[in-house]
Structure 1
Amino acid sequence: MNVKQYLDSTYLKTASQAGLSEEENNIVVKNTIAEAIIEGFKLIMIRPEKVSLAKEMILKANSTLLVGTVIDFPEGNSDLETKIKEANEAIENGADDLDFVCNYEAFKNGDIALVKKEILIGTQIGLANNKTVKWIIEVAALTDKEIIQLSALIKNVVITNFKEEDYALVFVKSSTGFFKTENDLPNGATIPAIIMMLENASPLPVKAAGGVRSYDDAIEMIRLGVKRIGTSAAKLIANGQNTTNQY
C-alpha cells in the first residue's frame, strides 16, 4: 500500500499562530511544499494566500502534486457570499481542492436551510470548475448524534443535486485541527467519529484530518475506508515514525 497517496501534507498556520515572522513562516511554507513534491504525497494543503506560490513550485518541479486550500477557515461561520468569494479566488489561483468549513454552529442551532444552501452552492462552484470539494464538519464541536446527522445532511444534498459520477469528488472531512477542546480532549479524527462519518456519508468519501499521528494510525484509517488523510507530519508518518503534532 502506497500510504503517501492518501496523505494531504498540511500547513495552515499564520505567522502569528506559529510564533514566527512573515519571512520565517514563508520559509516553512516553501519547505513544506518542497517536501511534498520530493516525497510524492497526494496533495499539499495550505492557506489561500500561498496557493499561487505552491503552483509555481510544482510547475517548476514538473510534479503531479495537487494543491488544496481552506475556505472560511477555521470557524466556518461567515456568510455565504464570503465563502463564495474565497472559493472563487482559490480557483483563480489554481487550487485543486477546496476544503470548506461547514457552518457547524448554524447546524447546531437548527438553521438547516442555511447549511444546506452553502453545501449546495459551494459544491456547485467546485464541481463546475473541476475541483474536489471537502466539507469540514469539526467533529470535536459535535455530539455523536450531530456527527451522524451532519454527515447524512451533506450526503443527501449531494445525491439529490448532483450526478453519481460526482460523488467521489465531494468529501466529508473531520476537522480543521484548530478547534479548542476542553481538558485536552481530541480535536481531530477519532476512530468512533470516522466510523460514524463513513456509515452516514457513504457513498461520499471521507477525509480523516487531525489525530493521525503514526503510520499504524494511517493504515487503520485507510482500512476503515477513508480516502484521504490530513496531517502536518506526513513525512514522519510515511516513514513509519510517530508524531506529537496536534494535526
Structure 2
Amino acid sequence: MDVRQYLDSTYLKTAKQAGLNESENLIVVKGFIQEAIEERFKLIMIRPEMVSLAKAMVNNANSNLDIGTVIDFPNGISTIEDKLTEAKQAIADGADDLDFVCNYVAFKEGDVDLVKEEIFKGTQLGLEHKKVVKWIIEVAALNDKQIIQLSALIKNVVILNFDESLYSSVFVKSSTGFYQTQNNEPNGATLPAIVMMLENASPLPVKAAGGVRTYDEAVEMIQLGVKRIGTSGAKAIANGQNSNFEY
C-alpha cells in the first residue's frame, strides 16, 4: 500500500523546542516542506508563521501538496475570538487545512456550551473558505469516557449545523504530540483511542496524530478507517522503515 496520500508530514517545533536558533530551525522547516513536495505526501503541517513560506515553495514547485497549520497550539485554551483571528490569518497566508486545538480543558471542566460554540464557529469559518478543519481533542489528557463524549460532541455539532456533503472536510484528530504525560505514557494516537474516535466521530473522518512510527502501524491505522496520519517521520514510514521521531 502506498500510504503517502494519508500522511500529513509534520514539523511543529519552535526553535527553542528544537534546541536551535531561528535560522537553523528555518532550514529544518524548509527541508520538511521540500521533502513533502518531493515525496508527494498529502500535506505539510507547519506552524502558522511558516505558512507563507510553504505556500511560496509549493507554488514554485508547481506541487499539489496541501499546506496545513495549527490553531491555538498546543494548549487550546485561548478565547474563541483569538482562535478565529489566528485561523483567518492562516487562511490569508494560504493554509488549506486548519487544525484547531479544541478547548478540552473547558470540556473537562463541564463548559460544554463554550466547546460547542468554538466547534461551530471554527468549523463555519473553515468551511466558508473551503478549507479542511480538524479538531484536536488531545486523547492523552482525556479518559475513555471523555474521548467518546468529545468525539460525539464534535460530530453532533457538525451534523446539526452543516450539510452532509461537508462532513468529509471536518476531522476529529487525536493529539498535538506536545502534551506532557506522566510516567512516560503515550501522548499521541493509541489504537484504543483511535477505535473510540472512529466509533463515535463517524461519519466525520479521523486523523491519528503522534505515535505512528512504522509503515505497518500506518497501514493498521488506515485499515481501521483513519483518513489521515500526522507524523514527523513521514518519509521513513512511506519507505517502509521505522521512524525515530518522537511524534
Give TM-score scaled by structure 2 length.
1.00
1:102 corresponds in structure 2 to: 102
Q: Secondary structure at the match of 1:9?
A: strand
Residues 86-235 of structure 1: matches in 2 within 5 Å?
Answer: 86-235=86-235
Q: Tell me how far 1:246 sits from its aligned partner.
A: 1.7
Q: Tell me how far 1:2 sits from its aligned partner.
A: 2.1
**Whole-angstrom CA distance in 2 between matches of 1:102 and 1:135:** 6
**Whole-angstrom CA distance in 2 between matches of 1:160 and 1:57:** 38
**Whole-angstrom CA distance in 2 between matches of 1:89 and 1:42:** 22
1:67 corresponds in structure 2 to: 67
Query: Which letter maps to 2:154?
Result: I
Residues 18-37 of structure 1: matches in 2 within 5 Å?
Answer: 18-37=18-37
What are structure 1's unaligned runs of at least 5 residues? none
Q: Tell me how far 1:243 sits from its aligned partner.
A: 1.8
**Whole-angstrom CA distance in 2 between matches of 1:245 and 1:197:** 24
**Whole-angstrom CA distance in 2 between matches of 1:235 and 1:244:** 11
Query: Which letter maps to 1:121?
Result: K
**Whole-angstrom CA distance in 2 between matches of 1:46 and 1:100:** 13
Q: Tell me how far 1:161 sits from its aligned partner.
A: 0.2
1:38 corresponds in structure 2 to: 38
**Whole-angstrom CA distance in 1 between matches of 2:100 and 2:164:** 21
**Whole-angstrom CA distance in 2 between matches of 1:92 and 1:141:** 32
Residue-by-residue CA offset, 1:126-151 (whole Å, 9 max, x unaligned) = 00000000000000000000000000
**Whole-angstrom CA distance in 1 between matches of 2:39 and 2:32:** 10
Query: Which letter maps to 1:176?
Result: T
Corresponding residue pairs, total: 247
**Whole-angstrom CA distance in 2 between matches of 1:2 and 1:164:** 29
**Whole-angstrom CA distance in 2 between matches of 1:231 and 1:225:** 17
Q: Tell me how far 1:244 sits from its aligned partner.
A: 2.9
Please report the RMSD computed on the Cα atoms of aligned residues, expressed in angstroms.
Answer: 0.4
4+ long deviations beyond 3 Å: none
Q: Secondary structure at the match of 1:208?
A: strand
**Whole-angstrom CA distance in 2 between matches of 1:61 and 1:244:** 28
Q: Secondary structure at the match of 2:133?
A: strand
Residue-by-residue CA offset, 1:129-176 (whole Å, 9 max, x unaligned) = 000000000000000000000000000000000000000000000000
Q: Does 1:79 align with 2:79?
A: yes
Residue-by-residue CA offset, 1:186-238 (whole Å, 9 max, x unaligned) = 00000000000000000000000000000000000000000000000000000
**Whole-angstrom CA distance in 2 between matches of 1:125 and 1:90:** 12
Query: Which letter maps to 1:66?
Result: D
What are structure 2's unaligned runs of at least 5 residues? none
Residue-by-residue CA offset, 1:11-38 (whole Å, 9 max, x unaligned) = 0000000000000000000000000000
**Whole-angstrom CA distance in 2 between matches of 1:141 and 1:43:** 26
Residue-by-residue CA offset, 1:61-80 (whole Å, 9 max, x unaligned) = 00000000000000000001
